Homo-oligomer: A and B are copies of this chain.
């Protein structure tokens, strides 16, 4: 009886050598698209399918307990809500409107029906708030832990979809809201978890941290921003949602658009609570904004002629400019220094990623 876990080919490459993005690129490099309706495959926030009329936009995410969430501090209702929101965020990041979701869950028998009802109450709250329909999925067993798989399906207009590859030299780089707070909220929860594990009698000290903890446990997707784009007849030249951190997500746009970028530290919005908490943790606030991730704000580029459409709007911050690829992707600090922006900025800034978070 062959055991295929033992009978590996002689060469064994550890998956970590390629990294998350390297691995999926490597595995999917030999998949040409054959159907004319497949307008966009792997490599953007969502796949794009042509129906002859409106486009269908599809995004999917797999959330694994112990990797993407920790039930020690994530209430199941919040987790259900967030699992929908992070997928809707991918649809909005295409400048499209989510309409349907499917949710499949695998769970071990440590979960009761009542616990699942909490999870689905959160899913329902998100479906209601964002006006999307739950149209499919199933529940199944898992030998250990909880796994949530969500697929979001949206509609968009052909000439309005915003891909990652449309940024041009001279475009302005915009951010829809403050960054770094979700990362700092997670650091607070991790600190309290460690204290609790060391002494279960210690009560959590979350006083005054509602904003930061809310950003990690119950993020929202920027539906309002997409509606504002439509109202102001603005179509971003490129767009992505900030799930991995400003550095990593800006690099996705730059690589796919074949351009460089310069970001002004003074133009990156950071909430006062995040500023304060970063200093408490002896972290540089801009590092948290660049590398933290999970803020689910939108990062987008606009043609300079469109500046008047965003200039006086609240919630939109102009953080920099697209430059030639040869100029690289750089941060211009408040102190007047220039740093290269790297996908894993946290390695270079001496900031360690929280346990269990994906790069």
Contact = CB atoms under 8 A, between A and B. Distances in A.
Nearest to A48: B135
B51 A56 contact: yes
Contacts of A106: 62, 64, 67, 147
Interface stretch (A16-24, A159-167, A258-266, A307-315): A16-24
B47 A16 contact: no
Contact of A34 (B65, B131, B149, B153): B131
Contacts of A132: 34-35
B8 A140 contact: no
Contact of A193 (B1, B31, B65, B109): B1
B153 A49 contact: yes
A305 interface: no
Most buried by B among A76, A107, A127, A138: A138
Interface residues of A, number: 102
A114 B49 contact: no
Interface stretch (A96-104, A234-242, A281-289): A96-104
A146 B104 CA distance: 16
A279 interface: no
Interface stretch (A116-124, A292-300, A332-340): A116-124
A141 B64 contact: yes
A52 interface: yes
A308 to B, nearest CB: 34
B100 A11 contact: no
A92 to B, nearest CB: 16
A326 interface: no
A142 B20 CA distance: 13
Given A113-B15, A135-B47, A120 B28 contact: yes
Contacts of A187: none
Nearest to A66: B143
A13 B113 CA distance: 5
Given A74-B4, A107-B15, A59 B136 contact: yes
A194 to B, nearest CB: 9
A33 to B, nearest CB: 4
A114 B9 contact: yes
B139 A41 contact: no
A325 interface: no
A35 B134 contact: no
A107 B14 CA distance: 12
Contacts of A143: 64-67, 144-145
Contact of A112 (B15, B64, B136, B140): B15
B12 A120 contact: no
A102 B144 contact: no
A5 interface: yes
Top 5 nearest A-B pairs (CB, nearest first) are A1-B196, A47-B135, A13-B113, A51-B51, A149-B149
